[in-house]
């Protein structure tokens, strides 16, 4: 499908630059409202993260939806997975999150959930974009949508997280350093872990509208690593600005990324008899993770990069666990989207059940050295179709054998191709990646000349 506005995760960009402008978002709200109201009175849940522009876009969406005759439930700052959950429990027709996830405060975005808490089907996105081409109108005053605040949204989600994992899980005696990225989980995640008995030391949990993801959160865990060691904590938890990513830090201050967390959860689910089929990763999942699952007899499939594609593959296979190296972890028996707080609880449960530390649990997977180089590519050019590139890839794969892999992946947002090589020996990986990137550059230069 060719989209004019929607990307793989909604619409995102810099505030004030089209399409992330108040007038566009106003009309987007109206267009979405028209589509969802076609079968009668409709209601939509709206949440946001903590960036300052969220107020502006919340008002714009509310006005557009009201003009289309749609009732609106406003939750205020709430994690993305919480909106997916509340959309289901409110029996709403859709959920909307105003967030640019792990991006800095200057960016913002709009993403939608269907009535069952999953990403919108392509045909609905197409219908919304088609509606955007029409002139905006307003329903009769008697049919205008109403808006109300959901005062207990945070409490509902906190109880959901606690109950979803296991009613018997107790974290008493566990010291956690929690990094909320000054984002949407700041008033939710600390309560979840504290109410289960953990001692929580909070960092980056004082949002001011401008500090979301600033030197903090799942994309920058240096402060968390230092805090875990300094506090003598058992574990560190880093969430991103909208709460759908998780990166953890073990008791030694070492990072435990999405690949390692996926392995820990897969092994825990397998031991409990909860693993349905296998596990879905992405093209960027480390080859060491694939090797670890092969050793354990757990099927492993790769999807395109993006939690949307992980979900699609899980549904296609009928499996229940998947994720990305970046920390999007999807556990389908508990949630319909990536949920950092819930995934952290499941990891803590694995620690409790096994009586092992986080550092011990991750020992089963050994990540292989990985090197990636970005090469500029003209729009619409597939480097593998350029003479000389395919031969260079085959040569690199031959040298790696079955102990590594080569990946050329076009960026979804930039005119780049990501050249990646993984293998057991760091020097060989470095050499092959450099040579392959040079081959791609030379081949593309010959096209231009």
Boundaries of every domain in the chain = 11-150, 172-256, 257-367, 370-448
Identify the bridge partners of residue 118 per DSSP, sorted by sequence position: none
Within 22-84, strands assigned E span 42-48, 70-77
CATH architecture of 11-150: 3-Layer(aba) Sandwich (3.40)
Whether the pLDDT of residue 412 is over 70: the answer is no
Which pLDDT band holds residue 199 (cuts at 50, 70, 90)? very high
Check residue 151 and give its pLDDT.
96
Whether the pLDDT of residue 1 is over 60: the answer is no
Whether the pLDDT of residue 340 is over 70: the answer is yes
Establish whether domains 172-256 and 370-448 are of one fold.
no
Compute the distance between CA of residue 109 and CA of residue 66 in angstroms, rounded to an integer.
20
| Residues in CB range of 318: below 8 A, 6 or more apart | 276, 277
Residues that are catalytic? 101
Whether the pLDDT of residue 267 is over 80: the answer is yes
CATH number assigned to the domain with residue range 257-367, chosen from the 4 options 4.10.640.10, 3.40.50.720, 3.40.120.10, 3.80.10.10:
3.40.120.10
Whether the pLDDT of residue 7 is over 90: the answer is no
Please state the rounded mean pLDDT for residues 255-270: 98
Q: Which of 65-79, 155-169, 250-264, 362-376 has the lowest mean pLDDT?
A: 155-169
> What CATH number was assigned to the domain covering residues 172-256?
3.40.120.10
Determine the Cα angle at 338 with ends 336 and 344, to 5°.
115
What's the chain's average pLDDT?
94
Of residues 165 and 291, the one with the higher pLDDT is 291
What kind and span of H or E run contains 146? none
Residue 162 CA: distances (Å) to CA of 189, 236, 342? 10, 19, 8
CATH number assigned to the domain with residue range 370-448, chosen from the 4 options 3.30.310.50, 3.60.15.10, 3.30.470.20, 3.90.650.10:
3.30.310.50
Check residue 305 and give its pLDDT.
87
Check residue 105 and give its pLDDT.
98
């Amino acid at each position: 499908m060719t989209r004019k506005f929607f990307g793989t995760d909604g619409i995102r960009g810099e505030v004030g630059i089209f399409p992330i402008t108040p007038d566009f978002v106003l009309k987007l709200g109206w267009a979405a409202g028209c589509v969802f109201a076609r079968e009668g009175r409709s209601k939509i849940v709206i949440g946001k993260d903590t960036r300052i522009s969220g107020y502006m876009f919340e008002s714009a969406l509310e006005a557009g939806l009201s003009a289309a005759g749609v009732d609106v439930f406003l939750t205020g700052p709430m994690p993305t997975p919480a909106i997916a959950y509340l959309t289901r429990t409110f029996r709403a027709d859709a959920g909307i999150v105003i967030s640019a996830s792990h991006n800095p405060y200057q960016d913002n975005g709009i993403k939608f959930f269907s009535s069952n808490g999953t990403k919108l089907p392509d045909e609905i996105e197409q219908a919304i974009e088609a509606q955007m081409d029409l002139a905006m109108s307003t329903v009769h005053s008697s049919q205008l949508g109403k808006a109300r605040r959901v005062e207990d949204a945070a409490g509902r989600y906190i109880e959901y997280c606690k109950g979803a994992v296991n009613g018997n899980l107790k974290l008493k005696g566990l010291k956690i350093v929690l990094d909320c990225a000054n984002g949407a989980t700041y008033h939710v995640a600390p309560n979840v872990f504290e109410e289960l008995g953990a001692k929580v030391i909070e960092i980056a949990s004082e949002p001011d509208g401008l500090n979301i993801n600033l030197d903090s959160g799942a994309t920058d865990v240096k402060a968390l690593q230092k805090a875990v060691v300094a506090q003598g904590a058992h574990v560190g938890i880093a969430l991103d600005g909208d709460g759908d990513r998780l990166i953890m830090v073990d008791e030694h201050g070492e990072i435990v990324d999405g690949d390692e967390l996926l392995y820990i959860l897969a092994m825990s689910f397998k031991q409990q008899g909860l693993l349905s089929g296998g596990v879905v990763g992405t093209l960027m999942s480390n080859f060491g993770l694939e090797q670890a699952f092969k050793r354990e007899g757990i099927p492993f499939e790769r999807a395109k990069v993006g939690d949307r594609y992980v979900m699609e593959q899980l549904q296609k296979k009928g499996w229940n666990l998947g994720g990305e190296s970046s920390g999007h972890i999807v556990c389908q028996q508990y949630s319909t989207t990536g949920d950092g707080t819930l995934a952290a609880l499941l990891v803590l449960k694995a620690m409790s059940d096994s009586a092992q530390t986080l550092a011990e649990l991750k020992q089963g997977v050994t990540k292989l050295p990985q090197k990636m180089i970005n090469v500029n590519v003209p729009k619409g050019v597939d480097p593998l179709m350029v003479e000389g590139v395919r031969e260079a890839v085959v040569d690199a794969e031959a040298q790696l054998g079955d102990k590594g892999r080569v990946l050329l992946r076009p960026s979804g947002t930039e005119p780049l191709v990501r050249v990646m090589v993984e293998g057991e020996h760091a020097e060989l990986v470095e050499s092959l990646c450099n040579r392959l990137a040079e081959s791609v550059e030379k081949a593309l230069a010959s096209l231009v000349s």
